[in-house]
Chain A
Amino acid sequence: EVELLESGGGLVQPGGSLRLSCAASGFTFDNYAMSWVRQAPGKGLEWVSSISGSGGSFFYGDSMRGRSTISRDNSKNILYLDMKSLRADDTALYYCAKVSVAAYNGYFDFWGQGTLVTVSS
């Protein structure tokens, strides 16, 4: 059974940094791309970033490009998102999602329950 468990969210001041983690199990981790998708309170879904199964290719949406770094540790089956220069509009529930293929261009077939990031002074 596929399981994705996010952690690392919390309250951070504007301009601060945070590292999100997603522990994956139930599938061959390095065979699949992984993504981060966020949802601001009461709003829709927004793609943040994706990384290929090997970790050699990564892609970012406009909202966090230059302020975030996606990475993965295939020996530990963990996905990361390092975020810096956080702003109030980064406040959201951040979901980890498994992609159906090794590259970015597939569908999100499994989702974690999300980790909440709140940016506020």
Chain B
Amino acid sequence: DIQMTQSPSSLSASVGDRVTITCQASHDVSKYVNWYQQKPGRAPKLLIYDASNLGPGVPSRFSGSRSGTDFSLTISSLQPEDTATYYCQQYDDLPLTFGGGTKLQIK
């Protein structure tokens, strides 16, 4: 199975900060990594697909990038509504696997 190692597991930052969450795949997954945002008590929502493509309706302060088997989700200017848990997920191979999640809180 492909392991997706996500870090940090939790993060606290201030409004306006630039925040980066990373995910490392245990094997080559090409560009096939997606990022989801899950707010408390809500279903996950697609943020980024195929490493760097913005999902529909997602604000442009969110971006994704890839370097080999390392993937990053960046929020350029943190907003209060970005409080959530973020998950990466690979679909290069079965079983589909998620990272452990990063809980992002606003200071």
Contacts and interface: CB of A to CB of B under 8 A. Distances in A.
Contacts of A107: 34, 46, 49-50, 89, 91
Given A45-B89, A61-B95, A95 B44 contact: yes
Given A44-B87, A100-B49, A108 B94 contact: no
B90 to A, nearest CB: 10
* Secondary structure dominating the interface of B: loop
Given A95-B44, A107-B34, A46 B98 contact: yes
Contact of A50 (B1, B89, B96): B96
Interface residues of A, number: 23
Q: How large is the interface on B (under 10, 10 to 19, 20 to 34, 35 or more residues)?
A: 20 to 34
Pick from A61, A62, A107, A112 the residue with the most CB of B within 10 Å. Answer: A107
Contacts of A111: 43-45
A37 B99 CA distance: 13
- Report the 3 A-B pairs with minimum CB-CB distance, sorted nearest first: A47-B96, A111-B43, A107-B49
Interface of B: 1, 32, 34, 36, 38, 43-46, 49-50, 55-56, 87, 89, 91-92, 94-101
